Amino acid sequence: MNGAMPDAAPSCRCCGARLTETFIDLGRQPLANSYVPVERLGQAEPAYPLLARVCGECFLVQVDAVVPAEEIFSDYAYFSSYSKGWVEHARRYAEAMISRLGLDGASKVIEIASNDGYLLRHFVAAGIPVLGVEPAANVACAAQALGVRTHIGFFGAQTARQLKVQGHSADLMAANNVLAHVPDINDFVAGFTILLKPEGLWTIEFPHLMNLVQQAQFDTIYHEHYSYFSLGTVERILAAHHLRAFDVEELPTHGGSLRVYACHLLASHETTDALLALREREDAAGMENIDTYRGLRPRAETARRELLDFLDQAGREGKKVAAYGAAAKGNTLLNFCGVTARQIEFVADSNPHKQGNYLPGSHIPIRAPEAIFTARPDYVLILPWNLADEIRTELAGINEWGGKFAVPIPSLRILD
């Protein structure tokens, strides 16, 4: 028996309705970011059901919270400033917001999950007062060393009230890629209502559920991501806290993200055409219809069958397959498909902290990108499909021995 079946459906972490619809069952999986060092290869790996449900009332897609929080957070020593692309994204955001809102020395910018100050330092450089809120003490200290004032702790209504008493209130609040990681969404959002000035603005960035559904990006689901949002669902959550969205931008990050601009219900910010247009597109895409969500499972099954057929055929023909990118999404996919090191010899990744370890579950060894040029595989399977163009350019040299690229999502294709 693979664990007992729950006798009652859990309730939606947003609206409280009973969750009777499975979005996708990805089986039992280890945490997607727990890379295995060689000395632990022989030991049993903790694995947990990875089951995503969709709420029939508010259409929040959510993963059952079955992993003890300390296991998830022990892996969270991630420094945002390690990613060049992300730092550049942050710099452009700061510039745009300073000019859009006319921020100056009398303003206040508060970021939730401020990490190592990768974003707020651009406001500090422009002479604008900031406050970061960050639960991981080691990264918060790195931010403070850069002159980014940081409150160490989780964010929610209680923290917001405490900060308000200390005299904080915000012209701009930012929450980038944190909403998905929050177990209690309502308590989290309530904090923004408390800290935003009457005309203050909150920008929220999150991967767009419409892309997940339309492009079968089921591999972006993992235990650390509790929730997956459409614009419509976010608007309902905001409304429950006397807030509203008035503008939105689509960003290419994480396979397609949204940046929603929110304010108090009674603030003067006018609803933009971009917001109206995206509401219409979500409607046309069926994001308020449960049948749309039922379409993901068969597409994931097809993607699994295609990947396994491809690996089988390569094996029969004596062809070598390597993979590129030891990212979380690759692990969800490989473990859902039951792929092992027998089918994929190794995975190359440029992060030196991952090299020498093994992927969780599949136990495929992680090597430096140079290993591709030594092993000369017939196929390189690109796991982070959102970076496929970048990776193809970087590894264009595989042409030399007739090597080809393969991309597994939304359905397997071989690139010439």
Binding part of the chain for Zn ion, among 60-68, 71-79, 93-101, 369-377 by CB under 5 A, reads: 60-68
Residues 305-324 that bind Zn ion (CB under 5 A): none
Distances (CA, A) of 397 to 90, 286, 324, 325, 326: 32, 43, 14, 17, 20
> Max Cα separation, the chain?
69
184 binds Zn ion (CB under 5 A): no
| Count of chain residues binding Zn ion (CB under 5 A) | 8
Which two tokens mark 101? 């809102």
12 binds Zn ion (CB under 5 A): yes
57 binds Zn ion (CB under 5 A): yes
54 binds Zn ion (CB under 5 A): no
Say if CB 318 and CB 347 are below 8 A apart. no
Q: Which of 161, 222, 226 is nearest to 187 (CA)?
A: 161
14 binds Zn ion (CB under 5 A): yes
Closest approach of Zn ion to the CB of residue 328, in Å = 25
Q: Is 8 left (phi over 0), alpha (psi -120 to 50) or beta?
A: beta
Dihedral (CA of 364, 365, 369, 372) sign = negative
- Measure the CA angle with vertex 156, ends 153 and 159; round to 5°: 55
The letter for the amino acid at 248 is V
Decide whether 58 or 182 has the Cβ nearer to Zn ion: 58
Closest approach of Zn ion to the CB of residue 18, in Å = 9
Binding part of the chain for Zn ion, among 11-19, 34-42, 161-169, 324-332 by CB under 5 A, reads: 11-19
Which two tokens mark 249? 């931008």
Closest approach of Zn ion to the CB of residue 236, in Å = 8
CA 204/CA 188 separation, integer angstroms: 12
Binding part of the chain for Zn ion, among 55-63, 330-338, 352-360, 408-416 by CB under 5 A, reads: 55-63
Beta carbons within 10 angstroms of residue 90's beta carbon = 24
The letter for the amino acid at 272 is T
Given 26, 51, 55, 178, the residue binding Zn ion (CB under 5 A): 55
Closest approach of Zn ion to the CB of residue 229, in Å = 11
15 binds Zn ion (CB under 5 A): yes
Binding part of the chain for Zn ion, among 53-61, 193-201, 278-286, 317-325 by CB under 5 A, reads: 53-61
Given 26, 50, 58, 327, the residue binding Zn ion (CB under 5 A): 58
CA 266/CA 19 separation, integer angstroms: 33
185 binds Zn ion (CB under 5 A): no
Decide whether 55 or 110 has the Cβ nearer to Zn ion: 55
Closest approach of Zn ion to the CB of residue 189, in Å = 14
182 binds Zn ion (CB under 5 A): no
Closest approach of Zn ion to the CB of residue 51, in Å = 16
Name the phi and psi angles at 391, rounded to 5: -70, -40
61 binds Zn ion (CB under 5 A): no
Decide whether 12 or 131 has the Cβ nearer to Zn ion: 12
Distances (CA, A) of 25 to 71, 248, 306, 341, 390: 21, 31, 18, 23, 31
Q: Which of 152, 217, 231, 222 is nearest to 181 (CA)?
A: 222
Residues that bind Zn ion (CB under 5 A): 12, 14-15, 17, 55, 57-58, 60
